[in-house]
Amino acid sequence: MSTTPTKARMIRLVLLISLPLYILDQITKWWTVMNFKLPFVVIEGQKYAVPEDTRPVIEGFFNLVRRHNQGVAFGIGNGTTWAPVVFLFVLVIALAGITYFWKKGAFTGPAKWAPPLLISGIIGNLTDRLFQGFWLEPYKDASFMERLGQGYVVDFLDFKIPGFEKIMPSSGGHWPAFNVADSCITTAAVLLFCTALLEAWKEFKEKKAKA
């Protein structure tokens, strides 16, 4: 039986999985933007960080925050002029690649659920990078390209992981803040990894049976 998904099935999965998760991602991010203080001020064109607006949910373990991530995980690329544009194109290329390989039936086993999760996560963060910069009050009078360059991903879920400060002392034990879109991408990555393990195990058993 062919593992290539039909166009109807792909659309159905996008509507049932990708779209609801994308909406949830955007609602939670905009709630954060509307209810938490801006994490910086701009004075004479220079950004200066201000004390973080942190709201504990589970004391010492889980907080809600508002962080602007212009780069990738662990803040790589934050504060640079190239990161918003570079990572914007990276997301577009990744989305095109996933769609192409999904049509070709490249995702099998547990990984068959990965494409709709990846699509919701990528589009969720792509939306941030395209539009969030235009809503920043300090840049309301800036040029179009400058405001586009201020695009960032809204991260708001902050967890303190026991022992993590030993791995990364500068973190203070806090895992990098993330959002719903990041969770979708991570879940998809786990599904892809599990599928790879299953395929490797299947291949191992087949070789062992032939030996």
The residues annotated with a catalytic role in the active site are: 155, 182
Among 171, 206, 195, 5, residue whose Cα is nearest residue 73: 171
Q: With contact defined as beta carbons under 8 Å apart, do 97 and 183 qualify?
A: no
What tokens appear for 190 in the block?
A: 């786990």
Q: Is 75 exposed, middle or buried (0-12, 13-18, 19+ CB in 10 A)?
A: middle
- First-to-last CA distance in the chain? 28
Rounded CA separation 52/152 (Å) = 17
DSSP for 171-182 reads GTTBPPPB-HHH
Largest CA distance in the chain: 73
Q: Which residue's entry shows tokens 């004075």? A: 43
Q: With contact defined as beta carbons under 8 Å apart, do 200 and 192 qualify?
A: no
Q: With contact defined as beta carbons under 8 Å apart, do 120 and 21 qualify?
A: yes
